[in-house]
Amino acid sequence: SQQGEEDPQALSIQEGENATMNCSYKTSINNLQWYRQNSGRGLVHLILIRSNEREKHSGRLRVTLDTSKKSSSLLITASRAADTASYFCATDAPGNQFYFGTGTSLTVIP
């Protein structure tokens, strides 16, 4: 079974707006990562945040992690049409298993 759940399931915004998606998970983790997937094929790693970190930035991406609430958020600022994709959070549990959430489908309208 999958550990994480993303919210919302689908998000549609205008180009230039910010997009925020959330991830909740169930058990303790070492790290949480966000991935992007285009057209249902290979996933691309975006950013990793460790369990002892609370916030991390990479370009237009900002990730937060709240281990007390077992949740994370991904913010994409100044969105572009090319950001249209599905976004997944993934948590690594002890034993190096990776659990992916159900994903947020983001549509950025030009």
Partner 1 sequence: GAGVSQTPSNKVTEKGKYVELRCDPISGHTALYWYRQSLGQGPEFLIYFQGTGAADDSGLPNDRFFAVRPEGSVSTLKIQRTERGDSAVYLCASSLGTTQFFGPGTRLTVL
Q: Kindly state the smallest distance separating residue 108's Cβ from partner 1, in Å.
A: 20
Q: What are phi and psi of 15, to 5 degrees?
A: -55, 135
Q: Is residue 100 within the footprint of partner 1 (CB under 8 A)?
A: yes
Which residue is listed with tokens 């990776």?
98
Q: Kindly state the smallest distance separating residue 16's Cβ from partner 1, in Å.
A: 28
* Structure tokens given for 47: 């950013």
Cα(105)–Cα(87) distance, integer angstroms: 6
Q: How far is CA 106 from the centre of its chain?
A: 11
Q: Is residue 103 within the footprint of partner 1 (CB under 8 A)?
A: yes
Among 110, 62, 56, 65, smallest CA distance to 83 is for 110
Cα(27)–Cα(39) distance, integer angstroms: 30
Sole binder of partner 1 in the list 22, 64, 77, 102 (CB under 8 A): 102
Q: Is residue 44 within the footprint of partner 1 (CB under 8 A)?
A: yes
Q: Is residue 67 within the footprint of partner 1 (CB under 8 A)?
A: no
Q: Is residue 40 within the footprint of partner 1 (CB under 8 A)?
A: yes
What is the contact surface with partner 1 in residues (CB under 8 A)? Answer: 2, 4, 30-31, 33, 35, 40-45, 48, 88, 90, 92, 95-103
